[in-house]
Structure 1
Amino acid sequence: MRAPAVAGYFYPAEPEVLRAQVTRFLGDAGPASGPVPKAVIAPHAGYVYSGSTAALAYAALAPARDRVARVVLLGPTHRVAVDGLALPEAEELATPLGSLHAAVPTADQRAALPQIVDRADVHAQEHSLEVHLPFLQVLMPRAEVVPFAVGRARPGTVADVLERLWGGPETVIVVSSDLSHYLSYDEARRRDAQTIAAITDLRGPIDHEQACGATPVNGLLEVARRRALTARLLGACNSGDTAGDKRRVVGYAAVAFDEPEPS
């Protein structure tokens, strides 16, 4: 069991309060428009700052809630450095709402993906994946999660993992990332608009000044180009729009990636 590390800090520790808050975020996001995306980018700050933006990504996935059986979840490492993509050495991922099953790649997939490592210490205090779990528990509680804390890795290295785990309609990909950090409100809006344009145009690589989750984002951009996905912005804001002052803000965006229509 991977125990929650940031309950009561990034999101409520009381189960009923947490469920009500996530449900409210999803309701405020409104019904999805457009196709159900294969992949999304969503932020990972405290819910008071970025929960409403994260909810836009999950609302886009909501129409597929009954068919999605597996979520490949990737987020950056903030506390413990690692080479490659780390799994948590846990069978369950816990939050105040209970737990989700942590799936792992098959033996054949692992043999072909030496960039995957097992590191419980990398996950123990990491928030970039944990803050997404309550959204998944409310939206698709029966889905299993393949949780990767992404350290030092090239875009193609991350893309190769996504390719191996791509699956079909039963699998979706969630990449966890915020945008710029601690700029003034107006400067953050300018720089984040440039970053969002690069992402939606599938241009990369972006750097860690543009997005703290640049490594998994760049991997997603690489596989999106390989597979001719298209990207669309679902919404963006920064902490100055939600719960922080405007002198030093953090940027957030929700982006959907759609597979091409069958010919």
Structure 2
Amino acid sequence: MSPLREDTRIAYYAGSWYSGDPEILRQQLSKWIEDAEAQENTRTEGAKEQQGPIRAIIGPHAGYMYSGSTAAFGYCKLLQMHSQIKRIFLFGPSHRKSFRGCMLPSVMVNAYDTPFGPIPLDSELISHLESSFPEYFKRLSKSSELHEHSLEMHLPFIYYCTNRKAHPVMLIPIMVGSLPSSLSLKYGQIFAPYFDNADNFFVISSDFCHWGKSFDYTFYRSEDGQEIYKFIENLDRRSFEAIENQNDTEFRNYLDQTKNTICGRYPISILLNTLKYAKNKYNVKFIQYKQSKKCMSNEDTSVSYAVSLVSDCQSRQV
């Protein structure tokens, strides 16, 4: 492997949150994607409705031993259509740095590395966003960019699924801070034209409920007669309904009511408002859900992982 260029962000979490060995990593991703495809084929066999092209996914960003097999349900779709995609917009929440709005990569960075090799950034488009909307986009420092995992955890999947043609897919990574509804609406207006362009693919990075004392979230109604893990699942699925309804107001009201610890709430909000302002119509559907552990008592801890697909409204009865 050639030495890493100074303008390339290193794969900081390789070797800890996922394998840094490209062959081991390739085998893992291949197995997870093959298994996801097989399950999806079984699930959709005999379905009466055909799905339009996939335009975006919501997927998890935990360590691969926890969420890799779940993320594969989204990335098997990207693998099937990789030849049609020229660039990927990747939105991830900021876990370490507090800010308002959206942050673009450091001006000193032109590629994001993976154990497979680097993914080039679309530096021209990134600069265009910064110059066209200076009020809404700032630049990250290299250290802030380096330590955030919500973007990096998607990169090996993106490389594996798209680096199969002469011209590699280019990346537009966007770190998302807190967003009041009015600001999220503005980002929806900005990104809608890019979403309508079939050359582009959107990836929204988010885990769902973080439950347990370590997350300072133990919301549970024992009078409902459910085990805790089932209560958590139903709690998450209520958020799925708001997202599938493509309604950011409904989603925010749900969060206000439940305080559910969905870390990617603001990237999801941008997606919902992007769909609101898009000229074309789209379907949103969750297809996979998993918890890191089935919580049975207040001493347990779990994180929920889910995958949603956003597809063109081209489905028809057959």
TM-score scaled to structure 1, two decimals? 0.90
> What residue is the counterpart of 1:177 in the other structure?
206
Q: Give RMSD over aligned pairs.
A: 2.1
Q: Which moved more, 1:164-173 or 1:51-60?
A: 164-173
> What residue is the counterpart of 1:212 in the other structure?
263
Q: Does 1:7 align with 2:14?
A: yes
Contact persistence 1:185–1:247 (CA under 8 A): no
Cα distance in 1, alignment partners of residues 37 and 97 from structure 2: 37
Structure 1 position 255, deviation (Å): 0.5
> What residue is the counterpart of 1:144 in the other structure?
170
Bigger fraction of residues in helix: 2
Contact persistence 2:122–2:172 (CA under 8 A): yes
> What residue is the counterpart of 1:225 in the other structure?
276
Gaps of 5+ in 1: none
Contact persistence 2:99–2:178 (CA under 8 A): yes
Cα distance in 2, alignment partners of residues 82 and 220 from structure 1: 19
> What residue is the counterpart of 2:111 in the other structure?
92
Structure 1 position 225, deviation (Å): 2.6
CA shift in 2, pair 1:193/1:250, >3 Å: same
Amino acid in the other structure paired with 1:166: F
CA shift in 2, pair 1:64/1:148, >3 Å: same
> What residue is the counterpart of 2:99 in the other structure?
82
Cα distance in 1, alignment partners of residues 190 and 152 from structure 2: 20
Q: Aligned pairs, how many? A: 258
Cα distance in 1, alignment partners of residues 74 and 147 from structure 2: 24
> Could you report, residue by residue, the CA deviation over 1:68-105 in whole angstroms, capped at 9, with x for unpaired residues?
11000000001112232112221010121111001132
Structure 1 position 150, deviation (Å): 0.7
TM-score scaled to structure 2, two decimals? 0.75
Cα distance in 1, alignment partners of residues 301 and 99 from structure 2: 29
Give the 3-state SS of the residue equivalent to 1:21 in structure 2: helix
Contact persistence 1:109–1:164 (CA under 8 A): no
> Could you report, residue by residue, the CA deviation over 1:150-194 in whole angstroms, capped at 9, with x for unpaired residues?
112332133134225335221100000000102442332121111
Paired residues for 1:103-114 under 5 Å: 103-104=122-123, 105=125, 107-114=127-134
CA shift in 2, pair 1:108/1:97, >3 Å: closer
Percent identical among aligned pairs is: 27
Contact persistence 1:86–1:118 (CA under 8 A): yes
Gaps of 5+ in 2: 1-7, 45-50, 213-227
Match of 1:201 among 242, 245, 257: 245
Q: Does 1:251 align with 2:273?
A: no
Cα distance in 2, alignment partners of residues 106 and 75 from structure 1: 16
Contact persistence 2:189–2:277 (CA under 8 A): no
> Could you report, residue by residue, the CA deviation over 1:3-28 in whole angstroms, capped at 9, with x for unpaired residues?
11211221111111111111111111
